[in-house]
């Protein structure tokens, strides 16, 4: 397998707004990250992925860019950026930037020009339609609620926005637009950025005939996915970017909804020259019931094992993958996939074990290394995600959902759960800021914080550090094959990683009850030495039923290595 820095490294994702405020305005910023670079380095990670930092009016927290070559005012300026980048490089880490090129802000100069007249040079940088009988051209509903079309009163035409109306979609069929985008990407490449996460990238092409979407189960709008996602022209645009902008030393990652381990090769196939790997949505909704305010039990085989194993066992030629549970669009890992109450520490450590020994590049979402949890006591006014309020009118004010259920749903599934400030210490506002944070701090910060866990050798934080160090030492965890054991086991995820004569055995009990595992012949424990266990004195405490069967306690996880 081809060796690459981005396969061997471990990544750390930072939601800049919520990481560290350096100047007391309640908003995280670049200088805040600079202050914390030694902390990040102390985790043992090799690359930092930052959510968007470009200039933006913040309708969607930076995913609505008004200047692609400048920094968001609240985050700092280009000098801060240069200092941050060199601080990262000095510490032998790398930087991955988020690039939002599917749409811009409606406050971008291109859009401001575009709405001046139909003849304006920038008109065609966006996607327009006259509409029908004073109505939008079709029934497409946007991802953030409401119609995907907005009327521009001045010119009397509708523009397309698959996200909010302040995020008009760019027209990638326009060659000049593509050239401007390539120049912009080259500008960041020229500064020394090591990789890019391309936002909503499989939406670059749209079906410009704008057919109506299918209306499912009495929905207000039609399903537009078949007409705005994974269209063939996306491949041409990605190949063009790879050819004209990026080199082999960059990592190019795409966010690709609707793509799974069976079809991701269309973008990541090593001969395609499009993307190195993709972020999927496989684990985003695990445990979510039919309604957002309901939870269902996790089906380990279907929800987790089939998917994670599916990614890990793809043919080499199909490309690489990340291993991640959470990001800024999900809920908190331990709340969704573990037990954030009774087994907080054990389940967070079990999940860390799985993530850092699986096949693919681990992306640790900020705060997961201390087991940050959902903000499950937030009220409507505590939320900040704009889409929550659009949907509130669509569902609650129109009487479809009760206020109580809506809030319960947000507590369980809102992406604001994973955007609360980093919990640095037990002081006011968790040491994130000296003033009012832009979004409330999770009320458990006195219990769950970095300072406390740094001092406690049994903490989640120190467990992460140990596993990250192990992954860096054992290339078997990077390039080794992946073989599942006792596949049908409904409670335990167990597998072997094998490279040449080295074998690593990993066993993880996914639930808060005892469970038994049937070992395969290659996994008989007599050939292995225990390396990591999330229970104290793991060596002495293994419950052996007989030579083939072991019993794991609630959320117990173990990593064994074969003797050389």
Asked if 23 interacts with Ca ion (CB under 5 A), we say yes
- Please report how close the Cβ of residue 257 comes to ligand GLC at its closest, in angstroms: 7
Query: Cβ(317)–Cβ(502) under 8 Å?
Result: no
Rounded-to-integer distance, Cα 85 and Cα 82, Å: 5
Per partner kind, with CB cut-offs from 5 to 8 A, the member of ligand GLC, Ca ion, none near residue 255 is ligand GLC
- Please report how close the Cβ of residue 166 comes to ligand GLC at its closest, in angstroms: 11
Check 29, 74, 98, 199 and give the catalytic one. Answer: 199
As a whole number of Å, the end-to-end CA separation of the chain is 22
Per partner kind, with CB cut-offs from 5 to 8 A, the member of Ca ion, ligand GLC, none near residue 180 is none
Per partner kind, with CB cut-offs from 5 to 8 A, the member of Ca ion, ligand GLC, none near residue 25 is Ca ion
Q: Which of 11, 196, 28, 143 is nearest to 415 (CA)?
A: 143
Check 21, 64, 80, 255 and give the catalytic one. Answer: 255
Per partner kind, with CB cut-offs from 5 to 8 A, the member of ligand GLC, Ca ion, none near residue 21 is Ca ion
Q: Which of 105, 87, 111 is nearest to 164 (CA)?
A: 105
- Please report how close the Cβ of residue 16 comes to ligand GLC at its closest, in angstroms: 13
Long-range contacts of 530-533 (CB under 8 A, 24+ apart): 530/558, 530/559, 530/560, 531/470, 531/504, 531/559, 531/560, 531/561, 532/353, 532/463, 532/466, 532/467, 532/470, 532/557, 532/558, 532/559, 533/557, 533/558, 533/559
| Among positions 8, 25, 306, 451, the unique one binding Ca ion when judged by CB under 5 A | 25
Torsions phi, psi for 335 (to 5 deg): -75, -35
- Please report how close the Cβ of residue 27 comes to Ca ion at its closest, in angstroms: 4
| Among positions 21, 59, 199, 483, the unique one binding Ca ion when judged by CB under 5 A | 21
Q: Is 199 known to be catalytic?
A: yes
* The CA-based dihedral angle spanning residues 153, 159, 165, 169, taken in that order and rounded to the nearest 10 degrees: -150
Beta strands in 321-400, from DSSP E residues, in sequence order:
322-323, 361-365
Q: Using CB under 6 A as the criterion, which residues of the chain lie in contact with ligand GLC when the complex forms?
A: 60, 63, 100, 163, 199-200, 255, 328-329
Rounded-to-integer distance, Cα 525 and Cα 529, Å: 8
Per partner kind, with CB cut-offs from 5 to 8 A, the member of Ca ion, ligand GLC, none near residue 486 is none
Query: Cβ(199)–Cβ(100) under 8 Å?
Result: yes
CB-nearer residue toward ligand GLC: 200 or 450: 200
CB-nearer residue toward Ca ion: 439 or 523: 439
- Please report how close the Cβ of residue 144 comes to ligand GLC at its closest, in angstroms: 8
**In the window 384-423, what residues touch Ca ion (CB under 5 A)?**
none
Asked if 35 interacts with Ca ion (CB under 5 A), we say no
Asked if 80 interacts with Ca ion (CB under 5 A), we say no
CB-nearer residue toward Ca ion: 27 or 430: 27
CB-nearer residue toward Ca ion: 22 or 413: 22
Q: Is 456 known to be catalytic?
A: no
Asked if 27 interacts with Ca ion (CB under 5 A), we say yes
| Residues contacting 336, CB < 8 A, separation 6+ | 283, 286, 287, 325, 326, 330, 374
β-strand pairing of 67-71 with 157-160:
unpaired
The helix/strand/coil state of 549 is: strand
Rounded-to-integer distance, Cα 286 and Cα 282, Å: 8
Query: Cβ(468)–Cβ(10) under 8 Å?
Result: yes
CB-nearer residue toward ligand GLC: 383 or 464: 383
- Please report how close the Cβ of residue 433 comes to Ca ion at its closest, in angstroms: 7
CB-nearer residue toward Ca ion: 25 or 70: 25
Of 15-23, 41-49, 54-62, 130-138, the window that binds Ca ion (rule: CB under 5 A) is 15-23
Per partner kind, with CB cut-offs from 5 to 8 A, the member of Ca ion, ligand GLC, none near residue 27 is Ca ion
- Please report how close the Cβ of residue 281 comes to ligand GLC at its closest, in angstroms: 9
> Which residue's structure tokens are 């919990």?
423
Task: Classify burial at 504, counting beta carbons within 10 Å of its beta carbon; exposed 0-12, middle 13-18, buried 19 or more.
Answer: buried
- Please report how close the Cβ of residue 167 comes to ligand GLC at its closest, in angstroms: 6
CB-nearer residue toward ligand GLC: 66 or 444: 66
Query: Cβ(242)–Cβ(250) under 8 Å?
Result: no
Give the pair of three-digit tokens for residue 13: 């994702």
Q: Which of 283, 385, 406 is nearest to 334 (CA)?
A: 283
Query: Cβ(362)–Cβ(322) under 8 Å?
Result: yes
CB-nearer residue toward ligand GLC: 163 or 365: 163
Per partner kind, with CB cut-offs from 5 to 8 A, the member of Ca ion, ligand GLC, none near residue 483 is none
Q: Which residue is nearest to ligand GLC (CB)?
A: 63
Rounded-to-integer distance, Cα 536 and Cα 558, Å: 11
- Please report how close the Cβ of residue 163 comes to ligand GLC at its closest, in angstroms: 4
Asked if 60 interacts with Ca ion (CB under 5 A), we say no
CB-nearer residue toward ligand GLC: 35 or 329: 329
Rounded-to-integer distance, Cα 151 and Cα 480, Å: 54
Name the residues annotated as catalytic. Answer: 199, 255
Which residues are near Ca ion by CB under 5 A? Answer: 21, 23, 25, 27, 29
């Amino acid at each position: 397998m081809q060796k690459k820095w981005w396969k061997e490294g471990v990544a750390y994702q930072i939601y800049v707004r919520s990481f560290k405020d350096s100047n007391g305005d309640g908003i995280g910023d670049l200088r805040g990250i600079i202050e914390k670079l030694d902390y990040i380095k102390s985790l043992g990670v090799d690359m930092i992925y930052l959510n968007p930092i470009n200039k933006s009016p913040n309708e969607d927290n930076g995913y609505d860019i008004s200047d692609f070559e400048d920094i968001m005012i609240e985050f700092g300026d280009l000098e801060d950026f240069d200092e941050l980048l060199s601080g990262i490089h000095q510490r032998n880490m790398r930087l991955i930037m988020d690039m939002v090129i599917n749409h811009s802000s409606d406050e971008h100069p291109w859009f401001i020009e575009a709405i001046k007249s139909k003849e304006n040079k920038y008109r065609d940088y966006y996607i327009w339609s006259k509409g029908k009988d004073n109505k939008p051209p079709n029934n497409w509903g946007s991802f953030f609620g409401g119609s995907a079309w907005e009327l521009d009163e001045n010119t009397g035409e509708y523009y397309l926005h698959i996200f909010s109306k302040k995020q008009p979609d760019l027209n990638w069929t326009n060659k000049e637009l593509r050239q401007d985008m390539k120049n912009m990407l080259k500008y960041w490449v020229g500064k020394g950025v090591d990789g890019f996460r391309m936002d909503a990238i499989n939406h670059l092409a749209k079906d410009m005939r704008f057919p109506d979407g299918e209306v499912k189960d009495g929905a207000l709008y039609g399903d537009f996915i078949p007409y705005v996602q994974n269209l063939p022209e996306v491949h041409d645009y990605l190949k063009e970017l790879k050819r004209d902008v990026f080199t082999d030393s960059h990592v190019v990652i795409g966010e690709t909804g609707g793509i799974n381990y069976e079809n991701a090769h269309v973008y990541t196939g090593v001969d395609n020259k499009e993307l190195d790997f993709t972020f999927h949505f496989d684990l985003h909704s695990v445990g979510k019931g039919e309604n957002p305010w309901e939870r269902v039990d996790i089906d380990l085989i279907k929800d987790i094992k089939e998917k994670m194993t599916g990614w890990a066992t793809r043919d080499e030629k199909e490309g690489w993958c990340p291993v991640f549970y959470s990001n800024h669009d999900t809920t908190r890992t331990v709340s969704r996939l573990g037990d954030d109450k009774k087994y907080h520490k054990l389940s967070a450590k079990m999940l860390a074990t799985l993530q850092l020994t699986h096949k693919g590049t681990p992306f640790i979402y900020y705060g997961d290394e201390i087991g940050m949890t959902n903000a499950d006591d937030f009220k409507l006014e505590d939320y900040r995600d704009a889409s929550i309020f659009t949907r509130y009118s669509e569902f609650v004010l129109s009487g479809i959902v009760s206020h109580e259920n809506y809030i319960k749903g947000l507590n369980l599934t809102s992406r604001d759960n994973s955007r609360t400030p980093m919990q640095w210490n037990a002081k006011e506002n968790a040491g994130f800021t000296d003033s009012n944070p832009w979004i409330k701090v999770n009320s458990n910060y006195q219990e769950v914080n970095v300072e406390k866990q740094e001092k406690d050798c049994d903490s989640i934080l120190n467990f992460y550090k140990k596993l990250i160090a192990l992954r860096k030492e054992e290339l078997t965890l990077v390039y080794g094959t992946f073989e599942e054991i006792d596949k049908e086991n409904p409670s335990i995820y167990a597998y072997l990683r094998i490279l040449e004569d080295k074998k690593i055995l990993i066993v993880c009990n996914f639930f808060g009850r005892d469970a038994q595992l049937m070992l395969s012949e290659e996994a008989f424990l007599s050939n292995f030495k225990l390396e990591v266990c999330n229970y104290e004195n793991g060596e002495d405490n293994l419950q052996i039923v007989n030579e083939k069967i072991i019993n794991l306690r609630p959320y117990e996880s173990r990593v064994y290595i074969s003797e050389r």
